[in-house]
Amino acid sequence: MSANTRPSGPPTQTYDSAFLRACRREPVPHTPVWFMRQAGRSLPEYLKVREGIPMLESCMRPELVTEITMQPVRRHRVDAAIFFSDIVVPLKAIGVDLDIKPGVGPVVAEPIRRRADLERLRALTPDDVAYVTEAIGMLTGELGATPLIGFAGAPFTLASYLVEGGPSRNHENTKALMYGDPELWADLLDRLADITAAFLKVQIEAGASAVQLFDSWVGALSPADYRRAVMPASAKVFDAVAGYGVPRIHFGVGTGELLGLMGEAGADVVGVDWRVPLDEAVRRVGPGKALQGNLDPAVLFAPREAVEEQADRVLRAAADLEGHVFNLGHGVLPTTDPDALTRLVEHVHTRTAR
Ligand code: CP3
Q: Is residue 6 part of a domain?
A: no
Residue 11 has pLDDT above 90, yes or no: no
pLDDT digits (tens, 9 = 90+) for 249-272: 999 999 999 999 999 999 999 999
How remote is the CA of residue 83 from the centroid of ligand 1, in Å?
A: 12
Average pLDDT value for residue range 311-319:
98
In this predicted structure, what is the pLDDT of residue 217?
Answer: 97
pLDDT confidence tier of residue 18, bands split at 50, 70 and 90? very high
| CATH code of 63's domain | 3.20.20.210
Q: Is residue 54 part of a domain?
A: yes
How remote is the CA of residue 283 from the centroid of ligand 1, in Å?
A: 30
Q: Is residue 158 part of a domain?
A: yes
In this predicted structure, what is the pLDDT of residue 8?
Answer: 82
Residue 34 per-residue DSSP state: -
Q: Was 41 annotated as part of a binding site? A: yes
Beta strands in 94-136 (DSSP E): 98-101, 105-108
Question: What residues form DSSP beta bridges with 213?
Answer: 152, 250
Of ligand 1's atoms, which has the minimum distance to the CA of residue 47? 47
Domains contained in the chain, number: 1
Q: Indicate the SS3 state at residue 11.
A: coil
Domain with 90 in it: 12-352
Alpha carbons 343 and 304: distance in angstroms, whole number: 8
Average pLDDT value for residue range 238-243:
98
Q: Is residue 3 part of a domain?
A: no
Apex 251 CA angle, 312 and 318, nearest 5: 25
Of ligand 1's atoms, which has the minimum distance to the CA of residue 39? 1
DSSP string, 245-257: ---EEEE-TT-GG
Average pLDDT value for residue range 188-210:
98
How remote is the CA of residue 16 from the centroid of ligand 1, in Å?
A: 29
Q: Was 160 annotated as part of a binding site? A: no
Specify the pTM: 0.96
**Residue type at 89 in one-letter notation:** V
Alpha carbons 210 and 208: distance in angstroms, whole number: 6
Q: What is the ipTM of this complex?
A: 0.93
Q: Is residue 1 part of a domain?
A: no
Ramachandran region of residue 151, left (φ > 0), alpha (ψ -120 to 50) or beta? beta
Mean pLDDT of the chain: 97
Q: Is residue 5 part of a domain?
A: no
Q: Is the CB of 84 under 6 A from ligand 1?
A: yes
Alpha carbons 92 and 56: distance in angstroms, whole number: 9
Q: What's phi and psi for 23, nearest 5 deg?
A: -60, -35
Q: Is residue 62 part of a domain?
A: yes
Q: Is residue 4 part of a domain?
A: no
Q: Was 330 annotated as part of a binding site? A: yes
Residue 1 has pLDDT above 50, yes or no: no
How many Å from the N-terminal Cα to the C-terminal Cα in the chain?
Answer: 41
* 161 in active site: yes
* 61 in active site: no
Q: Is the CB of 49 under 6 A from ligand 1?
A: no
Give the largest Cα separation in the chain, rounded: 58
Please enumerate in sequence order all residues whose Cβ is within 8 A of that of 280, keeping only pairs 6 or more positions apart, or say none.
317
> To test ligand 1's pocket by mutation, which of 73, 82, 87 has the most ligand atoms within 8 angstroms of CB?
87
Average pLDDT value for residue range 90-114:
97
* 25 in active site: no
pLDDT confidence tier of residue 3, bands split at 50, 70 and 90? very low
How remote is the CA of residue 81 from the centroid of ligand 1, in Å?
A: 15
Please enumerate in sequence order all residues whose Cβ is within 8 A of that of 235, keeping only pairs 6 or more positions apart, or say none.
265, 266
